[in-house]
């Protein structure tokens, strides 16, 4: 399945499970946005509850959950092992990408809705969707799709930082204990994957943009961000561009910056 689909595809595939994954760094509850209006039939997937373990300085702000926890949470929402999932948010897929990437990593068909809820031209509903609970089989996270902190420190593969430029350069750091970036990383802000209308750039434009990062490369690239969420958007963009799959560093800057022995670089 392609990593990005449009509303026409979604309407042509009524069997797909729609997932609303709205989440806000400023503390606004994503569930409130869901209850105010969501695509008909969409279930709400809470990023903190379903897609991450509790935060810690040792593991970062959004550590990967155990396969068992992930399976239990999605099963309770009615998302089965074999369901096709289309996820959206209202920020160009920056948050919903986490769910999509996780599902694709374990071999389940999943895609982002291009343009998010803003692209939906039909009515919205306010009643929560009710799907029968499903018993999911926990699937182990594939080690070849993830990278740990020690591996990141020693990698010779392209290391891509998906955060905004001012955070990468160390000009500001609103969320984590230190400013800067992992030495050797290249800044590829996630927002640059999108056109002005909030939809993904065409694959050829994405390839041109990513060419400046050293992609394609002999070694599989590793992407990180603040806490392993928006980096998933960059990884899906790489795939959408036809440049293969990459690896995620889940701990990202929130883990790295909490370890005083890890070096940090600043630009400018």
Domains of the chain by residue range: 4-119, 143-256
Cα–Cα separations (whole angstroms), residue 85 to 3, 82, 136, 179: 11, 9, 14, 36
Exactly one of 225, 229, 236, 237 is catalytic; name it: 225
pLDDT in the model for residue 127: 96
Residues 6+ apart with CB under 8 A from 11: none
pLDDT in the model for residue 24: 95
Per-residue pLDDT of the chain (268 residues; tens, 9 = 90+): 999 999 999 999 999 999 999 999 999 999 999 999 999 999 999 999 999 999 999 999 999 999 999 999 999 999 999 999 999 999 999 999 999 999 999 999 999 999 999 999 999 999 999 999 999 999 999 999 999 999 999 999 999 999 999 999 999 999 999 999 999 999 999 999 999 999 999 999 999 999 988 888 889 999 999 999 999 999 999 999 999 999 999 999 999 999 999 999 998 5
* 48 three-class SS: helix
CA angle 186, 21, 35 (to 5 degrees): 145
pLDDT in the model for residue 216: 83
Cα–Cα separations (whole angstroms), residue 46 to 23, 50, 51: 8, 6, 7
d(CA 224, CA 262): 15
Cα–Cα separations (whole angstroms), residue 83 to 77, 86, 106, 246: 12, 10, 13, 24
* CATH fold label, 4-119: Oxidized Rhodanese; domain 1 (3.40.250)
Place of tokens 């999605």: 74
pLDDT tens, position by position, 163-190:
999 999 999 999 999 999 999 999 999 9
Two tokens, residue 204: 């050829």
Two tokens, residue 243: 């440049």
What is 143-256's CATH number, 3.40.250.10, 3.30.70.1400, 3.40.30.10, 3.40.50.300?
A: 3.40.250.10
For 187-246, give the DSSP string: E--GGGGB-TTSSBPPHHHHHHHHHTTT-S-SS--EEE-SSSSHHHHHHHHHHHTTS---
Two tokens, residue 118: 């803003």
Whether 4-119 shares its CATH topology with 143-256 is answered yes
pLDDT in the model for residue 55: 96
Two tokens, residue 180: 């800067």
Two tokens, residue 213: 């990062």
Active-site residue 225, yes or no? yes
**CA-based torsion, 202, 98, 265, 179: positive or negative:** positive
């Amino acid at each position: 399945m392609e990593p990005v689909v449009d509303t026409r595809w979604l309407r042509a595939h009524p069997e797909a499970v729609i997932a609303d994954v709205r989440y806000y760094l400023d503390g606004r509850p994503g569930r409130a946005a869901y209850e105010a209006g969501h695509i008909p039939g969409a279930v709400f997937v809470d990023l903190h509850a379903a897609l991450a373990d509790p935060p810690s300085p040792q593991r970062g702000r959004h550590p990967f959950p155990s396969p068992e926890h992930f399976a239990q949470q999605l099963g309770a929402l009615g998302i089965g092992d074999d369901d096709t999932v289309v996820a959206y948010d209202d920020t160009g897929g920056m948050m919903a990408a986490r769910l999509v990437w996780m599902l694709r990593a374990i071999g389940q068909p999943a895609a982002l809705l291009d343009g998010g809820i803003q692209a939906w031209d039909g009515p919205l509903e306010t009643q929560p969707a009710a799907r029968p609970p499903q018993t999911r089989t926990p699937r182990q996270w594939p080690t070849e799709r993830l990278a740990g902190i020690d591996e990141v420190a020693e990698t010779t593969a392209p290391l891509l930082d998906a955060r905004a430029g001012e955070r990468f350069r160390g000009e500001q750091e609103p969320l984590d204990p230190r400013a800067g970036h992992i030495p050797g990383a290249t800044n590829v802000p996630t927002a640059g994957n999108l056109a002005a209308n909030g939809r993904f750039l065409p694959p050829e434009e994405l390839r041109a943009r990513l060419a400046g990062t050293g992609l394609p490369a002999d070694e599989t690239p590793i992407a990180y961000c603040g806490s392993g969420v928006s980096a998933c958007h960059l990884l899906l963009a790489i795939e959408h561009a036809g440049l293969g799959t990459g690896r995620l560093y889940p701990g990202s800057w929130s883990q790295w910056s909490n370890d005083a022995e890890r070096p940090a670089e600043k630009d400018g």
